[in-house]
């Protein structure tokens, strides 16, 4: 799993020549409702084991949480299931709000 900074993720999402990654947000529903990166998919951490079959092992996937800890744990879990194109958003949505979108609500 690779760590990706908010700035690099922003550049990736803006690059029309690259296929966008799956943005896998592993926070709780109330957190996701408070703020989220546009285009992200909610999959709370505790639902990941049951949702592995619906995720594409070959697609670039950026795992997202509040500060980057839960997403890192989920990424490590997914690696054990054969996922190889995984990125952890370093600092999570909190860092995204600090470095990319200062208008994003915080909690």
Domains of the chain, with CATH numbers? 2-99 (3.40.250.10)
Compute, in degrees rounded to 10, the torsion defined by CA atoms 77, 105, 91, 23: 40
Q: How far apart are CA 60 and CA 86, in angstroms?
A: 6
Q: Of 1, 22, 64, 65, which is the active-site residue?
A: 65
| pLDDT tens digits, one per residue of 38-91 | 999 999 999 999 999 999 999 999 999 999 999 999 999 999 999 999 999 999
* 65 counts as catalytic: yes
Q: Could you count the other beta carbons within 10 Å of the beta carbon of residue 88?
A: 24
Q: Please report the pLDDT score of residue 96 as a whole number.
A: 98
- The pLDDT assigned to 76 comes to 97
């Amino acid at each position: 799993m690779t760590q990706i900074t908010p700035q690099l993720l922003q550049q990736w999402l803006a690059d029309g020549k690259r296929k966008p990654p799956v943005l896998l947000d592993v926070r709780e529903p109330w957190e996701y409702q408070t703020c989220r990166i546009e285009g992200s998919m909610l999959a709370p951490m505790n639902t990941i084991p049951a949702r592995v079959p619906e995720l594409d092992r070959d697609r670039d996937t950026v795992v997202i949480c509040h500060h980057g800890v839960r997403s890192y744990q989920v990424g490590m879990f997914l690696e054990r299931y054969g996922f190889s194109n995984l990125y952890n958003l370093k600092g999570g949505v909190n860092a995204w709000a600090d470095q990319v979108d200062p208008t994003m609500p915080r909690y």
